[in-house]
Amino acid sequence: MTRIVYVNGEYAPENQARISVFDRGFLFADGVYEVTPVINGKLVDFGPHMERLERSLKELRMAWPCTLEELTRVHEEIIVRNALKEGIIYMQVTRGVADRMFNFPKETQSSLVVFPQVMTLVDTANARTGVKVVTTPDIRWLRRDIKTVMLLAPVLGKQEAVEKGANEAWMIEDGHVTEGTSSNAYIIKDNVVITRPLSNRILAGCTRRALFRLAKEHNVKIEERTFTPEEAYAADEAFLTSASQFVMPIVEIDGRRVGGGQPGPITRKLREIFLQEAQA
Ligand code: PDD
């Protein structure tokens, strides 16, 4: 199916959409992005994604490409024009088009690209069986709190995971897990969910934020602290969160089975309550 995508003010079939070779996203990865899930044709957690976008733009001193109202309308229009029921909407803002030079160009209009991707999010085989992760060194820069399109380290990490028969790589820094290449990381020990506190070393996940709220409402305890791969191997349960996977059980880490190799009860409960709210 030919998708309808949005590029700088226009909707076009994907094979006719164009951006400049001088776009700073293309030349420098000088851009930020968001991925918002869609269930039953409705955006999930859109507000938090736009709050994070605003923060990313501010940290990089990049201008909004349009108003928040216009961006919201573009998301809704992309859902309608593509009859999107379940999947994600990807959006990217870059510092725009200018002659190639490292410092910020003057008076450049930010570029905006928005497109949909059909995906099964709710009833997935991975959620039923759980997924495998491997660990790899975290070789990223130190502003991982900004959601930039500069994703070569995560690309290499995910490729390594896939080549080892796993679905995700957990990145290790100073002997501790930071996060997944495109997800936040959690273990559960003695009924307590353990996850790294927010800092410049990880992305503040919107799914993580929703999970914290729901866990509190359902009396699931969360402890924010760093953890080692060895602790993860010995955990009762493990899972990851992201906009495209929600709460995803992990059943194997570096070839070692976690929680008997089955999705754990607390993880399953958290996924269920997350989906209940997202589908409501
Ligand atoms: N990735 N950490 C990293 C490094 C991520 O790239 C992501 C999301 C997350 C989870 O954030 P959220 O819950 O807001 O999706 C954590 C998106 C899904 C992606 O790049 O496709």
Q: Where in the chain is the domain with CATH 3.20.10.10?
A: 125-279
* 106 CB burial (10 A radius; 0-12, 13-18, 19+): exposed
Left (φ > 0), alpha (ψ -120 to 50) or beta: where does 100 sit? beta
Please give the Cα distance from 236 to 30 (Å, whole number): 41
Portions of the chain given CATH number 3.30.470.10: 4-118
Count how many residues are written for the chain: 280
Residue 8, classed as helix, strand or coil, is: coil
185-218 pLDDT, tens digit each: 999 999 999 999 999 999 999 999 999 999 999 9
- Give the C-alpha separation, 228 to 217, whole Å: 28
Q: Does domain 125-279 have CATH number 3.20.10.10?
A: yes
From 42, 147, 164, 269, the catalytic residue: 147
| 32-82 pLDDT per residue, tens | 999 999 999 999 999 999 999 999 999 999 999 999 999 999 999 999 999
Give distance in angstroms: CA of 183 to centre of ligand 1: 5
Residue 89, token pair as written in the block: 């909407």
Ligand 1 pocket at CB < 6 A:
35, 179, 182-184, 203, 205-208, 241-244
Nearest CA to ligand 1 atom 3: 182
As a whole number, mean pLDDT of residues 136-165 equals 98
* Contact criterion met (CB below 8 Å) for 93 and 55: no
The architecture (CATH level 2) of 4-118 comes to: 2-Layer Sandwich (3.30)
